[in-house]
Amino acid sequence: MSTQPTHAIPSYLDQKDPGPWGIYLQQVDRVAPYLGRLGKWLETLKRPKRILVVDIPVELDNGTITHFEGYRVQHNISRGPGKGGVRFHQDVTLSEVMALSAWMSVKNAAVNLPFGGAKGGVRIDPRNYSMPELERITRRYTSEIGVIIGPHKDIPAPDVNTNAQTMAWMMDTYSMNEGATATGVVTGKPVSLGGSLGRVEATGRGVFVVGSEAANDLGIPLKGARVSVQGFGNVGGTAARLFYEQGAKVIAVQDHTGCVHNSNGLNVLALLNHVEQTGGVAGAADSDTLTPAEFWALETEILIPAALEGQITKHNANSIKTRILVEGANGPTTPEADDILNSKGTHIVPDVVANAGGVTVSYFEWVQDFSSFYWTEAEINHRLEAMMRTAYTAISAVAKEHKVTMRTAAFIVACSRILEAREVRGLYP
């Protein structure tokens, strides 16, 4: 029998400033009152299952040797193998990778994918390195974390500053070390190497599906609904096109080059073409321009932040006049802004659900790799839409039952699923 107290902040993080992991712990504490008997297992969520810190020594093109710090964190694998991206960024910290891995546990469970949560990172600014150097760094990192990843253990994917080529190198390195081709060890691969059709559009398509469900919930017809979008890349561009194709009026789009507006609705197909030609929305035909403040203050039915984190803050939240906010980006709304929007009755579809389309098609990629049998794009889109709709409906029902926001409801659903698995598996030994 032990009377030792449990400490939520592990000894290897700064107790006073635990960083993103501290934010995640607060979110978990907020969900605790709704977990009923499963609350007994809550500490599970406050401790990553496994953390690997690795040294990555690499010879640079000029012959010098340099070392990078790399991480792979498996937050929870009760519901299946770890799943989560690998980020290359100079500011990556252990606390950040821990928090990101935990948010992957939540996202995967919220959408009911049979995965746990994991994340990886290398402290590097990839812009300072050549392609051959990046290949050597990726291969050595993969080799170092090779002891804990694998198609049945933990499946990395692209994240900030990593892409399909990075995944191809990771897959090849892991396969070389194993002595057998293992396509299922990573997702987000090129299609020629076992990647999935539909992956590029998946996140934007998921945003469209849950946005449509939210509109339906609120009795707002898509036809003629005013939509504005921040970020017109992979996620925002796809979501805008799908809303446009269903007759919604995309009245404003903001990207890093500026903000274009047309109160009668922009021609999204022409705008996508313009961005492909010029690199941004600025200067698009049949549009006037808006300042960022004017963009946020537009009256809309649906607003989609799909660019960066921390865009909706206490400084602009009061001016926002939208019925529905669909978080395409990760963490676009600060907690203070979240409170302001909730008090105004804005229906927020949180990032863990809204942008889960990408990891859902990653799941399909993993399944296809196992069977070496590949689905058509139409099949993938159909299955994606079904999973996103089911996830939205389940979370919306919990929000109504407990009279909580969709964000809290998503955490309740996800944490309950993880802890239910923890409980029925039991503690080993």
Q: Which of 233, 294, 416, 420 binds ligand NAD (CB under 6 A)?
A: 233
166 binds ligand NAD (CB under 6 A): no
In the complex, the smallest distance separating the C-beta of residue 428 from ligand NAD, rounded to whole angstroms, is: 33
Q: Per DSSP, what are the bridge partners of residue 55?
A: 69
Q: Which residues contact 191 (CB under 8 A, 6 or more apart)?
A: 197
| Separation in Å, CA 24 to CA 9, 220, 300 | 11, 33, 31
| Separation in Å, CA 14 to CA 22, 28, 90, 97, 123 | 10, 19, 19, 15, 19
Residue 88: which H helix or E strand, with range?
strand 82-88
Give CA–CA dist 156/72, Å, rounded: 9
Residues labelled as active-site residues: 119
Q: Does the annotation flag 234 for ligand binding?
A: yes
Nearer to ligand NAD, 34 or 232 (CB): 232
Q: Which of residues 184-213 bind ligand NAD (CB under 6 A)?
A: 203
Q: Which of 56, 102, 134, 235 binds ligand NAD (CB under 6 A)?
A: 235
Tally of CB atoms within 10 A around 8: 15
In the chain, what is the straight-line distance between the N-terminal and C-terminal CA atoms, in Å?
A: 16
Q: Does the annotation flag 107 for ligand binding?
A: yes
In the complex, the smallest distance separating the C-beta of residue 98 from ligand NAD, rounded to whole angstroms, is: 18
Q: Which of 93, 112, 175, 234 binds ligand NAD (CB under 6 A)?
A: 234
Q: Does the annotation flag 83 for ligand binding?
A: yes
Give CA–CA dist 412/330, Å, rounded: 19
In the complex, the smallest distance separating the C-beta of residue 355 from ligand NAD, rounded to whole angstroms, is: 4
Q: Which of 12, 15, 125, 256 binds ligand NAD (CB under 6 A)?
A: 256
Nearer to ligand NAD, 149 or 306 (CB): 306
80 binds ligand NAD (CB under 6 A): no
21 binds ligand NAD (CB under 6 A): no
Given the rule CB under 6 A, which of 43-51, 190-198, 233-241, 335-343 is the region that contacts ligand NAD?
233-241
Q: 85: which 2 tokens?
A: 């991206």
Q: Does the annotation flag 362 for ligand binding?
A: yes
Q: Which of 96, 133, 255, 369 binds ligand NAD (CB under 6 A)?
A: 255
| Separation in Å, CA 70 to CA 39, 73, 121, 176 | 33, 10, 6, 21
Q: Which of 34, 141, 232, 243 binds ligand NAD (CB under 6 A)?
A: 232
Nearer to ligand NAD, 116 or 236 (CB): 236
Q: Which of 201, 231, 240, 290 binds ligand NAD (CB under 6 A)?
A: 231
Going 34 to 40 to 41 to 47, the CA torsion angle's sign is positive
Given the rule CB under 6 A, which of 62-70, 114-122, 248-256, 402-410 is the region that contacts ligand NAD?
248-256
Answer yes or no: are the C-beta atoms of 302 and 324 closer than 8 Å.
yes
Answer yes or no: are the C-beta atoms of 396 and 217 closer than 8 Å.
yes
Query: Is 68 strand, coil or helix?
Result: strand
In the complex, the smallest distance separating the C-beta of residue 306 from ligand NAD, rounded to whole angstroms, is: 5
Amino acid at 332: P
The beta strands (E) that lie in 282-414 are given as 288-289, 299-305, 321-326, 347-349
Give CA–CA dist 345/322, Å, rounded: 10
Q: Does the annotation flag 257 for ligand binding?
A: no
355 binds ligand NAD (CB under 6 A): yes
Given the rule CB under 6 A, which of 3-11, 144-152, 171-179, 254-262 is the region that contacts ligand NAD?
254-262
Residue 74: which H helix or E strand, with range?
strand 65-76
In the complex, the smallest distance separating the C-beta of residue 224 from ligand NAD, rounded to whole angstroms, is: 25
Give CA–CA dist 15/7, Å, rounded: 10
Q: How many residues bind ligand NAD (CB under 6 A)?
A: 19
In the complex, the smallest distance separating the C-beta of residue 329 from ligand NAD, rounded to whole angstroms, is: 3
Q: Is the peptide bond before 10 cis (omega within 30 degrees of 0)?
A: no
Going 100 to 102 to 106 to 107, the CA torsion angle's sign is positive
Q: 298-337 mask for ligand NAD (x: CB under 6 A)?
A: --------xxx-------------------xxx-------
In the complex, the smallest distance separating the C-beta of residue 351 from ligand NAD, rounded to whole angstroms, is: 7
Q: What residue ranges bind ligand NAD (CB under 6 A)?
A: 203, 230-236, 254-256, 306-308, 328-330, 355, 358
Annotated binding site for substrate: 83, 107, 362
Positions at the binding site: 83, 107, 203, 234, 362
